[in-house]
Amino acid sequence: MWTFIHKWGSPKWFYAMSARVQPWCWAAALILIALGTVWGLAFAPADYQQGDSFRIIYVHVPAAFLAQSVFVSMAAASLVFMVWKIKVADMAATVMAPFGAVMTFVALFSGAVWGVPTWGTWWMWDARLTSMLILLFLFLGVIALRGAFTSRDGGSKAASVLAMVGVINIPIIKYSVDWWFTLHQSSTFSVTSRPAMPTEMWLPLLIMVLGFYCFFIALTLMRTRSEILRREINKRWVMDLAKEAR
Amino acid sequence: MTPRRRQKLLIILGALALAGVAVGLTLYALRSNINLFFSPVQIAQGDAPIERTIRAGGMVKEGSVARDPQSLNVEFRITDYVDELAVAYNGILPDLFREGQGVVVVGKLAADGQFMADKVLARHDENYMPPEVAQALEEAGYSPADYQAKAAEVGERLRSQDK
């Protein structure tokens, strides 16, 4: 088991193995997102109060899930990099940050679009919305910090520290709706109880969430591969690879 | 794991735990500012400032909405199932505004306890259902609002907190 994990820490091994996994992830992402979109937008029943505007949930909830999951993955990769000095982990953390920022923005934007007809306002400084905005700034901060150093090693370390400390924001986002009075409703889904939503509504949502996760994995693998090539450009195996391709 | 790496891991986890405690204490100290609105219980206890713009939130009490047929004036009561607050508003209500539904009102609390709202926001709950299900519930004698009786739990929780 440990040797298996250790092998993935080698850029060369990662590059070779991810090439095999990647197409499956892309295929799964494409199928799940296409299925979830059509099902959610066209076939799922409308809500008794919100009508069709509730359908924004099929983008909003997966994006918000992903935004938080990406941050946790990025922090975990940063921890692996800081403790075990595994470079592939740092490369993965590098490529995750922009994707996470985009997902956070999508969650905030779709929420604002939904908020206008539902709440009567597009923004409110409540705990959920504010902590999510902080998450966006954390992502942008990690990206900026990494770029602000002349040495790549310095940038990686600084970005890793910010990512690890920023993880404290994740439980705050998750529990903000329970700890404080917020305009945002509390969670429809929990691990322990049945969702406050009928099956024909949450099944397409589950498919969308899984599709977004597959998309995240596929994109991270793809971008980590290009990051490996960029950083290992002077290594023997990359040169051999380039020769073969020619 | 080499001793050096173990030490590094422990330092990182320790620093994270400390930072977490610091953030937790800060948020705990600021909790009254982080809450988006005052609940009727807090207003009844005099926690809310008078004649200053504040937000109050709760459920619109069933049967309490009185509209003036001549104008946009509307009066209703919001409740957290412990205390109530009378609200007066002049303007267009959001689509989701209805009895038994959560709202957040922005405005000023008058000295006599009446809340003068400048803005009414609908607060959606976490329950979703197709119209047929809502109708079936109603025919079976439950209103969707009963089905969402979680609000009563919140009221209960508030009451026990304030004791």
Q: Which domains does chain A have, with CATH numbers?
A: 23-245 (1.20.120)
Compare CB distances from A49 to B19, B39, B96 and report the shortest one's residue: B96
How distant is the alpha carbon of residue B13 from its chain centre?
Answer: 36
Instruction: Read off the pTM.
Output: 0.86
pLDDT digits (tens, 9 = 90+) for A75-94: 999 999 999 989 999 999 99
Q: In this predicted structure, what is the pLDDT of residue B163? A: 44
Element holding B101 (H helix, E strand):
none
Show Cβ contacts of residue A196 under 8 Å, excluding neighbours closer than 6 positions.
Answer: A188, B126, B127, B128, B148
- CB A61 within 8 Å of CB A201: no
List per-block mean pLDDT (blocks of 10 residues) for chain B, which spans 163 residues.
86 91 90 85 87 89 88 90 90 83 90 90 79 68 52 51 49
d(CA B72, CA B69) in angstroms, rounded, equals 8
Give backbone dihedrals phi and psi of B120, rounded to 5 degrees, phi first: -120, 125
Compare CB distances from B19 to A50, A165, A181 and report the shortest one's residue: A165
Relative to beta strand B66-67, strand B102-109 is unpaired
How many CB pairs below 8 Å do chains A and B form together? 115
Q: Do A168 and B19 touch (CB under 8 A)?
A: yes
Q: Do A83 and B37 touch (CB under 8 A)?
A: no
Poorest-pLDDT segment among A31-35, A67-71, A113-117:
A113-117
Q: In this predicted structure, what is the pLDDT of residue B127? A: 75
CATH class of B35-162: mainly beta
Show Cβ contacts of residue A65 under 8 Å, excluding neighbours closer than 6 positions.
Answer: A209, A212
State ipTM.
0.76
Residue B9 to chain A, least CA–CA distance (Å): 6
Q: Is residue B75 helix, strand or coil?
A: strand
d(CA A62, CA A111) in angstroms, rounded, equals 12
A2: pLDDT confidence band, cut at 50, 70 and 90? confident
Would you list which residues of B are annotated within the binding site for heme?
124, 128
Q: From the CB of residue A90, how many other CB atoms can be counted at a distance below 10 Å?
A: 24
Residue B35 to chain A, least CA–CA distance (Å): 5
Residue A115 to chain B, least CA–CA distance (Å): 9
Q: Do B37 and A181 touch (CB under 8 A)?
A: yes
Q: Do A197 and B128 touch (CB under 8 A)?
A: yes
- Chain B interface disruption, residue of A49, A114, A129, A176, most B CBs within 10 A: A49
User: Can you state the angle between helices A87-118 and A152-166, rounded to 10 degrees?
Assistant: 50
Amino acid, single-letter form, for residue A10: S
Q: Do B122 and A120 touch (CB under 8 A)?
A: yes
Residue B115 to chain A, least CA–CA distance (Å): 19
Q: Please report residues of B whose CB lies closer than 8 A to that of A46.
A: 130-131
Relative to beta strand B66-67, strand B84-90 is unpaired
Report which of B56, B95, B48 is spatially closest to residue B77, judged by C-alpha positions. Answer: B56
By CA distance, what is B39's nearest residue in A?
A181
Q: Do A126 and B121 touch (CB under 8 A)?
A: no
Q: Please report residues of B whose CB lies closer than 8 A to that of A89.
A: none
Residue B129 to chain A, least CA–CA distance (Å): 5
Q: Do A196 and B131 touch (CB under 8 A)?
A: no
d(CA B65, CA B76) in angstroms, rounded, equals 4
d(CA B95, CA B162) in angstroms, rounded, equals 33
Q: What's chain A's average pLDDT?
A: 91
pLDDT digits (tens, 9 = 90+) for A133-183: 999 999 999 999 999 999 999 999 999 999 999 999 999 999 998 888 888
- Chain A interface disruption, residue of B4, B124, B146, most A CBs within 10 A: B124
Q: Do A120 and B20 touch (CB under 8 A)?
A: no
Q: In this predicted structure, what is the pLDDT of residue B153? A: 52
Q: Please report residues of B whose CB lies closer than 8 A to that of A111.
A: none
Across A54-66, average pLDDT: 94
